[in-house]
A and B are shown apart, each in its own frame.
Chain A
Amino acid sequence: MSVVKLLLVDDEARFVETLSKRLAARGFDVEGALSGPQALERLRERPCDVVLLDIWMPGMDGLEVLKEIRRRHPSVRVVLVSGNASITAAVEGIRLGATDYLLKPVDIEDVLAKVEEAVEKKRLEEEATDRSG
């Protein structure tokens, strides 16, 4: 299987930097973005498999970014990352098409599990589309 491409979106630069290093050390191809618009820009340049998206960011809210990603790149899977246990935002996120969500601080094993699950869902979806198409 080819290398999984991840996009990590969070306004906390150091969080993006260190988690990227750790995911890269685990064999992922990781890119980072520090804001919603930057994330959309990155996706336009280079599509990825899974986006890890912070819900609460200044400027463009995570849920807004999620809507845009789902609209422009429907095949990309999104896992939300939330800084507070606001279940309403997470539920809203799932309704808008997010695959799953994680609570900060995140456990690397949880991240790996959710990413794997998202990649699997993406693969099954693509297979289904290939068969029907």
Chain B
Amino acid sequence: MKDIRASNLWRSDGPPDVRRAVWASVAPPLMFVVLIAMLTAGAATSSRGQMATVLVVACAASVAAAAWVSVRLVRHLRAVVRQRDAFYQEFARLSKLASLGEAACSIAHDLNNPLAIMNEEAGWLQDLLNSTDTDAEVTRREFAASVEQVQIQIGRCREITRRMLTWTRDPEEPSGQVDINTLLMKTLYLVETELVATGVRVVKQLEPGLPLLKGSAAELRQVLLHLMKNALDAMKGTGGTMTITTARAGGSIRATIADTGPGIPPEVLARIFEPFFTTKGEEHGTGLGLTISTWILQRTGGRIDVESTPGLGSAFHVTLPAAVPVDGPAHNGGTP
């Protein structure tokens, strides 16, 4: 199991400013050398007391220079981290918009199918009305069948619009606490079209009565959606099973999204959390999904772990702390 913690985030900043780093390491000794040189030059004409004074001043000056450079460096690093956070925030916002765009596309498809059927039924009724040589009994039966179809298709459309409405209402409690089981089920709606298209089966193993999680439902949904899409991508063309599991893990809650895809080779597994690393090709992946997911989780004290067996599949575990200690009163919402 690969574990990612804060150290990875520092690595993801890329190399620090080289010019500043060189300056930081060279400045204090340089200052010391310059002052010693001045001291040596003046040695012939100075007394021992003056020499000692100059030595003390040289030491103090280089210590001060070192302190000044350190302060500058820390300030610089803070700015880099701030920039990265702003970038990740913006990226998370944009990928949320992108996934809404994708969702809109799949809604269009889902709605167009029943609409196409209703369109044909209406057209068929029109054809019957225009026709002169029809048996009254046959026409009556055709009308009844078409009207029934229209009603069935309206039911499908209503189901889709109902599903859309649930997206806008995040299962977030007023205090910024999230019910993970409900959130997982609602996230699953977002990939329903892909599920049908890929023929992937979903198995849910949700532990009922889990405590609420700390965090933002919208952000956490982004993470779960990303993991589900990765799982479906892994099983594209082959089908398989996506297993969604929730369970208590010590003082935290763990949600697992597992696929039965080809698994991740060790050399790829070692790099999947690196920013801009992608195996999907530039057109399909930015290489930031898992990086941003990790960043989102770390802000609320969570993490992602992955295990993968080539040939058998992969499992991504999202672990988040409970909003209140786990042995506190259990939340009764839960498995739908």
What B residues does A27 contact at CB under 8 A?
none
Flag if A104 contacts B115 (CB, 8 Å). yes
Q: Report whether B196 and A18 are in contact in the complex, using a CB–CB cutoff of 8 Å.
A: no
Whether A15 lies near B124 (C-beta < 8 A) is: no
Q: Which of B113, B121, B196 contacts A12 (CB 8 A)?
A: B113
Could you tell me the distance between the alpha carbons of A14 and B146 in the complex, rounded to whole angstroms? Answer: 10
* B108 interfacial by beta-carbon distance below 8 Å: yes
- Given the interface pairs A58-B197, A108-B123, the reply to whether A18 lies near B146 with Cβ below 8 Å is yes
A106 touches B116 (CB 8 A): yes
Task: Collect the chain A residues with CB atoms within 8 Å of residue B131's CB.
Answer: 25
Chain B residue contacts of A133, Cβ below 8 A: none
| A21 contacts partner chain B, Cβ-Cβ < 8 Å | yes
Contact in complex: B127, A25 (CB < 8 Å): yes
- Whether the pair A105, B124 counts as a contact (CB closer than 8 A) is no
Q: Is the CB of A105 within 8 A of B127?
A: no
Residues in B with CB closer than 8 Å to A25 are 127, 131
Q: A18-B146, A58-B196, A58-B199 are in contact. Are A106 and B105 (CB under 8 A)?
A: no
As a 0/1 sequence over residues 85 to 125 of chain A, the CB contacts with chain B under 8 angstroms (1 = contact) are 11000000000000000011110100000000000000000
| Whole-angstrom CA separation of A63 from B120 in the bound complex | 24
The answer for the CA separation of A56 and B119 in the assembled complex, in Å, is 19
Interface string of A34-73 (1 = CB under 8 A from B): 0000000000000000000000101101000000000000
CB pair A18–B121 under 8 Å, yes or no, is yes
Most B Cβ at <10 Å: residue of A61, A83, A85: A83
Instruction: Report the separation of the CA atoms of residues A58 and B201 in the bound assembly, to the nearest whole angstrom.
Output: 13
CA of A22 to CA of B146, assembled, Å = 13
Contact A104 B116 (CB under 8 A): yes
Instruction: Using C-beta atoms within 8 Å of the partner chain, give the interface range for chain A.
Output: 20 to 34
Establish whether residues B108 and A84, one from each chain, have CB atoms under 8 Å apart when the complex forms: yes
Which residues of the other chain, B, contact A103 by a CB distance below 8 angstroms? 112
The answer to whether the Cβ of B109 comes within 8 Å of any Cβ in the partner chain is yes
B160 within 8 A of A: no
- How many whole Å from A24's CB to the nearest CB in chain B? 10
Instruction: Indicate if B149 sits at the interface (CB-CB under 8 A).
Output: yes
- Pick the contact of B105 from A22, A61, A84 — CB < 8 Å? A84
Least Cβ distance of A34 to chain B in Å? 13
Q: Does B324 contact A (CB under 8 A)?
A: no
- Once A22-B127, A56-B197, A85-B108 are accepted as A-B contacts, the answer to whether A14 and B149 lie under 8 Å apart by CB is yes
By a CB distance below 8 angstroms, the chain B residues around A85 are 108
**Chain B 118-169 residues near chain A, CB threshold 8 A:** 118-121, 123-124, 127, 131, 146, 149
The reply to whether B115 and A22 form a contact with Cβ atoms under 8 Å apart is: no
Chain B residues with CB below 8 A from A18, complex form: 117, 120-121, 123-124, 146, 149
Candidates B108, B109, B116; contact of A15 at CB < 8 Å: B116
Which chain A positions have C-beta within 8 A of B120? 14-15, 18-19, 22, 105
Can you give 19 contacting A-B residue pairs, CB < 8 Å?
A12-B117, A14-B117, A15-B116, A18-B117, A18-B121, A18-B123, A18-B149, A22-B120, A22-B123, A22-B124, A56-B109, A56-B197, A84-B109, A86-B105, A103-B112, A104-B113, A105-B112, A105-B115, A105-B116
Q: Which A-B residue pairs are the 4 nearest by beta carbons?
A: A105-B119, A84-B109, A18-B120, A104-B116
Other A-B contacts than A14-B149, A18-B120, A104-B112, 16 sampled, CB-CB below 8 A, are: A12-B113, A14-B120, A15-B113, A15-B120, A18-B124, A19-B120, A21-B124, A22-B124, A59-B199, A83-B109, A86-B105, A104-B113, A105-B112, A105-B116, A105-B119, A106-B119
